[in-house]
Amino acid sequence: MGTFEVGLVFSPRIKQDLTIEGMVPLTRFDLVLSGGRVVDPQNGVDAVLDVGIIGGQIAAVESSISGARARRMIDVSGDVVFPGVVDSHVHVGRGRGVGYRMTAAVGVTTLVDFGCAMADLLPGFREGSVGQTVGALYPINRYLSSQDAQRCEIETLVDGALAEGSLGIKIVGGHYPLTPETTAVIIDVANDRRCYVAFHLGTTDTGSHLEGVREVPRLIGDNRLHVAHLNSYCRGMVKDPAEEALEAVSIMDALDDQVVTESYLGTINGTSGKCADGVPESHVTRNCLLMKGYEPSVKGLRQAIADGFGYVRVERGGHMVLVGGEEGVELWEAVDTDLPMSFPVNSPQATFITATAKNDRDEFIVDAISTDGGGNPRNVAVERGMALVRYGALTLQELAEKVSAAPAEMLGLTSKGHLGEGADADITVIDPVEGVARMAVAGGQLIMLGGVVIGDGGSILTTSNGVSTLTEAACPASAVDLEQSRLYQ
Ligand SMILES: [Zn+2]
């Protein structure tokens, strides 16, 4: 920056850049991505342009940037250039950083773990982070003394989580239900603190299905709430999945000012295989078994895994993989049933409806496309999002909105989700023929090329409450002002 490029003044290309006569400082870019189709809905950009990066920020988006002005230039002609993909709902906490590599490999530059205390997240982040920006929500259910915990206990846990560096709270009601009263108090306490609050729907009165969606207006009062993975409550437990999805989006539409939501495009879900007292602890796991006519017990779960309906999730070769059949049963029994699991229970009809539904003002009702992936091998937001583009269900602009601009806004990340001058240099380059991300840049650093993850470092996204703790722990942190988030605006 600001160096005098006297020796280059005679190049005809460089001369065009001289707007003031004589010697002027010419911008030198650290990295230029040239010739890609830049799709940046926030700035109304959809054109073949060069993107110049300096010091981790977007410095120029122009029709042509001379190679002489770039320390490094990468030709991305024929590719689509998105603002970096923000996955607003993943799980990376467990698995020694495997989830970071799995998400970076598909172009994710920012992610939020929906259910991991900061103390549990940091070891894996230190060991395995790959240059991304990472936030985490505290899974409050795990730490409450009972299903009907009182306000003072909830306040202590929420304040502790924020001081530790969490962005906010996740209520994992669908798996481990709390009473409606306690659930409503958690939402209220989080709103009082103006921290992030996400809810996997379901209480002791309802469950992780359409009844859980119908319960939201009763729980929310005049508060704000992030409704997690709207598609997942539409698996046909109450009525036809497509009808469930239509009702779920209409409930969200009516709560438009108070809720933000996301849906994912994967076929499999994510749950726990852990059993206690002869039954799976997770109510979602019980639901999955009931859906296919299995008994919601240890015996039923063993049979479902043996039959290849349920899969346990284990790490192999630096990735998490799904294993079913007798091998899956052996792995599951070897650790006393305590393994994450997946079932192929998501309805394609409900997935399509939740991903594409719009309101009267032609805005998406479900704000974002997430994955609920990370360490769960279903990081398909770009791949299946591009399939929706090819199908004609979304435009490229709309996909960029749903995987980057909107989730950045949901989290109040004003310098992410777009490629305006001064924005963070987070970029996802997509091959439109293959329909997959082929390059990712985070904070100006190339973190993935051709599916191979090459980044390191990264930073933790926190609130002003958590900065000092993370700084003391020598962890790079940046504070977000959630008053700026779509959740609270
Ligand atoms: Zn989740």
Q: Is the pLDDT of residue 346 over 50?
A: yes
Compute, in angstroms, the gap from residue 333 CA to the centroid of ligand 1: 24
pLDDT, residue 9, reads 35
Q: What is the mean predicted confidence (pLDDT) over 133-154?
A: 97
Q: Is the pLDDT of residue 20 over 50?
A: no
Copy the structure tokens of residue 341. 């699991």
Return d(Cα 28, Cα 9) in angstroms, integer.
14
- Look at the alpha carbons of 392, 393, 397, 400 in this order and tell me if their dihedral is positive or negative: negative
- 185 neighbors 156 (Cβ within 8 angstroms): no
Q: Is the pLDDT of residue 13 over 70?
A: no
Enter the DSSP assignment of 77: T
What would the pLDDT profile of 302-338 be if each residue is shown by its tens digit? 999 999 999 999 999 888 999 999 999 999 999 999 9
DSSP string, 356-378: H-B-TTS-BSS-EEE-SEESSS-
Q: In a 10 Å sphere around its CB, with 0-12 CB exposed, 13-18 middle and 19+ buried, how is residue 38 labelled?
A: buried
pLDDT, residue 94, reads 67
Four-way CATH pick for 6-78: 3.90.180.10, 3.40.920.10, 2.30.40.10, 1.10.10.10: 2.30.40.10
CA 141 to centroid of chain Cα atoms: 21
SS3 category, 254 = helix
Instruction: Give me the residues paired with residue 133 across strands.
Output: 110, 459
CB atoms within 10 A of CB 394: 22
Compute, in angstroms, the gap from residue 219 CA to the centroid of ligand 1: 20
Q: In b/e form, how buried is each residue of 166-185, taking b as 16+ CB within 10 angstroms?
A: bbbbbbbbbbbbbbbbbbbb
- 440 neighbors 457 (Cβ within 8 angstroms): no
Compute, in angstroms, the gap from residue 393 CA to the centroid of ligand 1: 25
Q: In a 10 Å sphere around its CB, with 0-12 CB exposed, 13-18 middle and 19+ buried, how is residue 381 labelled?
A: buried
What would the pLDDT profile of 361-417 be if each residue is shown by its tens digit? 999 999 999 999 999 999 999 999 999 999 999 999 999 999 999 999 999 999 999
Compute, in angstroms, the gap from residue 419 CA to the centroid of ligand 1: 28
- pLDDT bracket for residue 17 (50, 70, 90): very low
pLDDT, residue 93, reads 83
What would the pLDDT profile of 418-432 be if each residue is shown by its tens digit? 999 999 999 999 999
Q: How far apart are the first and last CA of the chain?
A: 37
pLDDT, residue 21, reads 47
What would the pLDDT profile of 168-185 be if each residue is shown by its tens digit? 999 999 999 999 999 999
- 278 neighbors 222 (Cβ within 8 angstroms): no
CATH placement of domain 85-267+346-413: 3.20.20.140
Compute, in angstroms, the gap from residue 360 CA to the centroid of ligand 1: 29
- 150 neighbors 475 (Cβ within 8 angstroms): no
Compute, in angstroms, the gap from residue 478 CA to the centroid of ligand 1: 23
Compute, in angstroms, the gap from residue 79 CA to the centroid of ligand 1: 31
- 158 neighbors 189 (Cβ within 8 angstroms): yes
Q: What is the mean predicted confidence (pLDDT) over 110-134?
A: 96
Enter the DSSP assignment of 402: I
* Percent of the chain clearing pLDDT 90 (strictly above): 93
pLDDT, residue 10, reads 35
CA atoms within 13 A on the CB side of 317: 2
Compute, in angstroms, the gap from residue 161 CA to the centroid of ligand 1: 18
Compute, in angstroms, the gap from residue 171 CA to the centroid of ligand 1: 10
- Name the residue among 462, 320, 449, 316 with its Cα closest to residue 379: 320
CB atoms within 10 A of CB 229: 26
Compute, in angstroms, the gap from residue 372 CA to the centroid of ligand 1: 5
Strand extents, DSSP E, 173-297: 196-200, 225-227, 259-264, 271-272, 275-276, 279-280
Helix or strand (DSSP H, E) at 131? strand 130-139
- What is the value of pTM for the model shown? 0.93
Compute, in angstroms, the gap from residue 82 CA to the centroid of ligand 1: 24
Long-range contacts of 440-443 (CB under 8 A, 24+ apart): 440/84, 440/85, 440/104, 440/107, 440/108, 440/109, 441/31, 441/33, 441/53, 441/84, 441/109, 442/84, 442/104, 442/109, 442/110, 442/131, 442/132, 442/133, 443/56, 443/131, 443/133
Q: Where are the domains of the chain?
A: 6-78, 85-267+346-413, 270-344
Compute, in angstroms, the gap from residue 112 CA to the centroid of ligand 1: 10
- 313 neighbors 375 (Cβ within 8 angstroms): yes
Enter the DSSP assignment of 145: S
pLDDT, residue 3, reads 36
Enter the DSSP assignment of 142: G
